[in-house]
Structure 1
Amino acid sequence: MSTDTSPALPVRVPLVTQPMGILGSLNAARRNVLSIIPDLATRQPMVSGRTAKRWHMVMDPGALRRVLLENEGNYPKSLVTKNLLKPAIGDSMFIAEGAHWRWQRRAAAPVFSHRNVMNLAPIMTAAAERSAERIAAAGPRAVDMAEDMVRTTFDVISEVTFSGDGSFDSDAVHGAIDAYIAEAGKISLFDILGLPDWVPRPGRMVSGAAMKQMKAVADDAVEARRKRGPQGVPDLLDLLLEGEDPETKRCMNTAELRDNLLTFIVAGHETTALTLAWSLYLCAFDPRVQEKARAEVQAVCEGRPATGEDVANLPYIRQIADEALRLYPPAAMVSRSAAADDTLCGRQIRRGDTVIIPIYALHRHHQLWQDPDAFRPERFENRKDVQRYAYLPFGDGPRICIGASFALQEVVIILATLLGRFRFAPVEGRNPDPVMILTLRPEGGVWLTAQPV
């Protein structure tokens, strides 16, 4: 069991206090990537070592600003990251580098404008209501809120991506993505050793057929929409089809559209579901926070589900989400490869070194946060008090998550709707276990009872 079940603190990952060799690191990483982080990383600005190749874990906000903003071009996404995700999402903007990334980002940026995100809010409200109906139907029985939040956010992403288009089998896509992550997403020794992509990964051969079939289905859906055109409120596919890079006038072809849509589905629904599941776990963990949140929701929503217009008037709900993202960031560790020599925290970085940003450790760093393992949404009451590069749930710099505002709006709408309807309580002896493979999931589920208010 890898959780800390201290009654004073929410669950956390015990970090390493002794060095591990390459096989020890590999075995630990295959179970839980976060278990390879040294405890020292929550107390030092930078930790370096060697596991087949040189690596540096960076927690210093100034050095992180250099990696993510000032010298961002020198730190492309690592080969490990690309090898893990490329079979699922191709050369989409999440993986692409340089000019190929820039034109895609420019073409897609207007898709996530405030107006477009607000136009999609009713879909989020409707999904929140369906979740509330499922929870109510369970009565006094405990509900795995992690599972329900995955279902709820997938409802949202499939509706905003394809408008419930009958030509697109969203359940098949969901199943193929889950199969890929489960069978093929675990770190391979070949990836750690930096072997090229064409060397076959044994665990990754399993789901290739399902992924190929999924891409064919998505291609057909894109082509059908291209012929049909938009109907009603434009969804993400409509907006991407209209998208054009203002500098080069380039538009996405079918394969590029499909890969970016699959990126939004992969990155957009599970990470949001995780933020909601951890937020609900934390609200059940601390009844004081939950009651304060409920009072805010009842004052603003007066018994109705939350809407896009309510989001700005629910600051404490947003603070809960922000604190959940601090304690349990979905992308809890990211890595980059140094393309040229550099210096970080006065230490030499050589070309080819792996630079790891252990966001989980950064968000629990003793020099950056007071009582870092404690759950305190009030930390975010004044955002100016939060040091910018000490808090990176969506990354930062040019590659900051393009869908951050969409995700936060969705989280606030769903969390407010559920807290307005139910009083959540934990189930004795069923604490979630924070485990990261590709994302930081609550292994074992978030089992809560929900009493109607």
Structure 2
Amino acid sequence: MKDQVAETPALPVRVPLVTRPLNLMQSLAAARRNILEIIPEIATRQPIVSGRTGTRWHMVMDPVALRRILLERLDDYPKSDVTKTLLRPAIGESLFVAEGADWRWQRRAAAPAFTHRNVLALAPVMTAAAERAAGRVAQAGPRALDMLDEMVATTFDVISEVTFSGDEGVDRAKVHAAIEHYIADAGRISLFDMLGFPEWVPRPGRMVAGGAMLETKRVADRAIEARAARGRDGVPDLLDLLLGAEDPQTGRAMSVEELRDNLLTFIVAGHETTALTLAWSLYLCAFDQDVQDRARADAQAVLGSRACTGEDVENLPYIRQICEEALRLYPPAGAVSRTARAPDTLCGREIRPGDTVMIPIYALHRNLLLWDAPDAFRPDRFSDRKAIPRYAWLPFGDGPRICIGASFAMQEAVIILATLLARFRFRPVPGRAPRPMMILTLRPEGGVWLQAEAV
């Protein structure tokens, strides 16, 4: 298998998928280096691919079968033990990890915080962060910038403000560093994970990174307790909304520990995934100047010289299409896995209890049975969303467990991207193309180095 990213003048960067079977140790090495490298190339041409590496596994790329996994038989396909082992040290039994009744009541309690009205009320925070990002880009002048770093800083600016606004005692930089450390080091799959060792068997990397996350949990606990005691004036932020959340069926409210785990989940997911969407979107706009020109014209027509607001988002459909196409080509969660709990049949294939059922979203989004020229960057694919099979595009998942913050993320991405494209022309830096690499999320290894010129 090649280690270099396949690149042609006509296509943006992509990962060359594996063309030969891997044994257990080869799979482990590939997964620790880049999870996408364990996906067989045939997964872009078939509805299902099966094999055995320690345990039986199936990769599913068929929308009908995916609907069955994510909607019709949701409880028979809980998140895999590996996923829970990777994430529990950071986010506990939060919405992302919880299953069954525990997940359902948390979802019911948290859902009102993410209504359109509440998400729109938080848009001014996003607009202010976009303005600051544009200011930093302008100040840098013509020199090359790593727009991945810029977008991570910008989206963490947003999520920290909508979770810890007014809490001056919170060291946001320290929280950010702990999260970044966990994602970079503790998220790598270990041999113990591949062999199915129980969660209580220590994984050294996670033990080291877990210390920083433990302190972050203490910081979050103190912020929650302080906010509950004194309250806060103004528009409710995410922490206010969660403090007031309760299950409408039972009246149950979240404990401090449950609040903290969900707050950390939203902090991690709420900045990491949106930052990646923006970084990849900027890379793609620099890659295709015609797309960038059209997007800039649309943004300038709506915004003029001001920053984008929440009310502008619905008037910028092409900017949203760019984000959606970036999410197709480089989904932040490039692969997710489930563990079958009951016998089933998917695409005519027998599924046994204990089998690992993977959804390789990176391959699904590039499957030749579902997409025309799937490796090409074409935002117009999303001009008619009804033409796209619902379970063929899954950057946020789907079914009852669809990402609760999807509308928050898309609003934020459009606001920031429109503001930047209206003011700057971005060009690639020769020889600095990013390499798609997934540990916990699909990141551009080496950063997204672009030159920005004011327009």
Greater shift, 194-203 or 115-124, is seen at 194-203
Q: Distance in 1 between matches of 2:252 and 2:405?
A: 21
Q: Distance in 2 between matches of 1:289 and 1:225?
A: 45
1:340-351 aligned at under 5 Å gives the runs: 340-351=342-353
User: Where does residue 64 of structure 1 map in the other structure?
Assistant: 66
What SS does the corresponding residue of 2:14 show, helix, strand or coil? coil
Shift of 1:389: 0.5
Shift of 1:59: 0.3
Letter in 2 for 1:340: A
Is 1:118 the equivalent of 2:109? no
Letter in 1 for 2:42: L
1:1-400 aligned at under 5 Å gives the runs: 1-400=3-402
Letter in 1 for 2:321: Q
Q: For residues 155-181 of structure 1, give each alpha carbon's deviation from its aligned partner in whole angstroms, at most 9, with x where no partner exists.
A: 000001111411222111111111122
| RMSD (Å), alpha carbons | 0.7
* TM-score normalised per structure 1: 0.99
Shift of 1:184: 1.1
Q: Distance in 1 between matches of 2:427 and 2:341?
A: 49
Greater shift, 356-365 or 296-305, is seen at 296-305
Count of aligned residue pairs for this structure pair = 453
Q: Distance in 1 between matches of 2:380 and 2:17?
A: 26
Letter in 1 for 2:291: V
What SS does the corresponding residue of 1:434 show, helix, strand or coil? strand
Letter in 1 for 2:213: M
Shift of 1:183: 2.2
Q: Distance in 1 between matches of 2:264 and 2:359?
A: 25
Asked whether the 8 Å contact 1:158–1:164 carries over to 2, the reply is: no
Greater shift, 206-215 or 307-316, is seen at 206-215
Identical residues among aligned pairs (%) = 72
Asked whether the 8 Å contact 1:276–1:411 carries over to 2, the reply is: yes
Q: Structure 2 regions of 5+ residues with no counterpart?
A: none
Q: For residues 112-152 of structure 1, give each alpha carbon's deviation from its aligned partner in whole angstroms, at most 9, with x where no partner exists.
A: 01110011001000000111111111111000000000000
Asked whether the 8 Å contact 1:42–1:364 carries over to 2, the reply is: yes
Shift of 1:222: 0.4
Letter in 1 for 2:267: I
Q: For residues 305-332 of structure 1, give each alpha carbon's deviation from its aligned partner in whole angstroms, at most 9, with x where no partner exists.
A: 1100000000000000000000000001
Letter in 2 for 1:406: F
Q: For residues 66-119 of structure 1, give each alpha carbon's deviation from its aligned partner in whole angstroms, at most 9, with x where no partner exists.
A: 000001110000000000000000000100000000000000000001110011
What SS does the corresponding residue of 2:51 show, helix, strand or coil? strand
What SS does the corresponding residue of 1:442 show, helix, strand or coil? strand
What SS does the corresponding residue of 1:206 show, helix, strand or coil? helix
What SS does the corresponding residue of 2:9 show, helix, strand or coil? coil
Asked whether the 8 Å contact 1:294–1:419 carries over to 2, the reply is: yes
What SS does the corresponding residue of 1:11 show, helix, strand or coil? strand
Displaced runs of 4 or more, over 4 A? none
Greater shift, 275-284 or 185-194, is seen at 185-194
* TM-score normalised per structure 2: 0.99
With over 3 angstroms needed to count, the CA separation of the structure-2 counterparts of 1:302 and 1:398, relative to structure 1, is: same
Q: Distance in 2 between matches of 1:266 and 1:282?
A: 24
Letter in 1 for 2:141: G
Q: Structure 1 regions of 5+ residues with no counterpart?
A: none
Q: Distance in 2 between matches of 1:53 and 1:2?
A: 29
What SS does the corresponding residue of 1:356 show, helix, strand or coil? strand
Shift of 1:230: 2.7
Q: Which of 366, 391, 401 does residue 403 from structure 2 map onto?
A: 401
